[in-house]
Structure 1
Amino acid sequence: MKDLKQFNIPFVGLKEGKHLFQYEIDNTFFKTYNYDEFENSSLDVTLEFVKKSTHFELNFTASGTINVPCDVTSEFYDQEIASVMPLVIKFGPEYNDENEEIIVLPHEAFQLNVAQFIYEMIVLGQPSRRVHPKVLDGTMESETLDKLKELEIKEVKTVEETDPRWDKLKNLITEKKT
């Protein structure tokens, strides 16, 4: 993924301590992952990279908007995204990402590409059910909403029908008591 070189962090030359990295994310970023769920996106990602002698602590923060279709009406709207993801990078004999909060890099590694972490944080940070704000406040005018209201199940009044045999048995109980 040659388009993601800007997300490489050459940590060998960094001094111990806190370092900040800023990224502006748009749809070209998601196209490198063949992810086309967003019509448009504009996100700011901040990475606080803390280098310590034995490990790294990464804190990703993303904020911005993604333009997505509403799950109810299919109308596009801007969904606010605010996501945070902490991550610890340690060193070991080989790469290991089995734990979602701790990544093990091989000892010979000299740089880290953070694009995959940013991608996962944003995609997983969106709500599972996306509903247009105008649907929530009831101000949206849409053919889809009109059709849904038309097809809505109305309250069904059921007349409780009883089996006449059971009615006779109930009568036996009440006759016995008197």
Structure 2
Amino acid sequence: MNVDMKLLKEYTIPFVGLKLGKHHFDYQIDKKFFEHFEYDEFNDVNVKAELLFEKKTTFLELHFKIKGDVNVNCDVSNEPYNQKVKGTFDLVVKFGEEYNDEHLDVLIIPHGEYEINVSQYIYELIVLSVPAKRVHPGVEDGTLESEMLKKLEELSPKAEENKTQSEEIDPRWNTLKKLLTDK
């Protein structure tokens, strides 16, 4: 993934200049943010990301919180809808010999680093907050009218069952059924 960090510099926090203690950062995330990550699953994005950045003497604590919605296409009907997303993520940043992000919630950055870019964490938190199966609320409560749903309904096994039951049964089958029950 080739993310242009220059375009995401507003997500770079120069922590070396921050006093010890808590600092708040608020970000309004839109579709453009995801274009930097070449991620195009969302039609539209309106998410507020809050970061509580706590600078301690030997490490940093980052508490991310997101809330908002992303416009996605329903997996069943392919109709676009707004999917609510919310989530939290805590990250501890420590200093070490070399950069290491192998652990999910611990990042080690080299001594002497003076800034950290948080865009990747916000990106992942939003993407992971979207349910694996995206279902339009109108599909769940039966209010969505769509060509795709009508087609699915026609092709569903239930519709086939109803069709066969309503068609008249060929009288020859009745004779055969009789043979089976007359044993």
Q: Shorter-chain-normalised TM-score: which range?
A: 0.7 to 0.9
Task: Tell me the CA shift for residue 145 of structure 1.
Answer: 1.0
1:9 aligned to 2:10?
no
1:64 aligned to 2:88?
no
Other structure's SS at 1:46 match: strand
Matched ranges for 1:1-178 at <5 A:
1=4, 2-154=6-158
Other structure's SS at 1:64 match: strand
Task: Tell me the CA shift for residue 33 of structure 1.
Answer: 0.8
Q: Aligned partner of 1:124: which letter?
A: L
Measured in 1, the distance between the counterparts of 2:142 and 2:57 equals 55
**4+ residue stretches of structure 1 with deviation over 2 A?**
154-157
Q: How many residues align?
A: 157
Other structure's SS at 1:57 match: strand
Q: Aligned partner of 1:99: which letter?
A: H
Measured in 2, the distance between the counterparts of 1:123 and 1:56 equals 24
Measured in 1, the distance between the counterparts of 2:145 and 2:122 equals 36
Measured in 2, the distance between the counterparts of 1:30 and 1:133 equals 24
Measured in 1, the distance between the counterparts of 2:46 and 2:153 equals 34
Q: Aligned partner of 1:81: which letter?
A: V
Task: Tell me the CA shift for residue 79 of structure 1.
Answer: 0.6
Other structure's SS at 1:3 match: coil
CA RMSD across the alignment: 1.4
Measured in 2, the distance between the counterparts of 1:54 and 1:82 equals 30
Measured in 2, the distance between the counterparts of 1:128 and 1:57 equals 29
Gaps (5+ residues) in structure 1? Answer: 158-178
Other structure's SS at 1:109 match: coil
Measured in 1, the distance between the counterparts of 2:25 and 2:47 equals 14
Task: Tell me the CA shift for residue 121 of structure 1.
Answer: 0.7
Q: Aligned partner of 1:101: which letter?
A: D
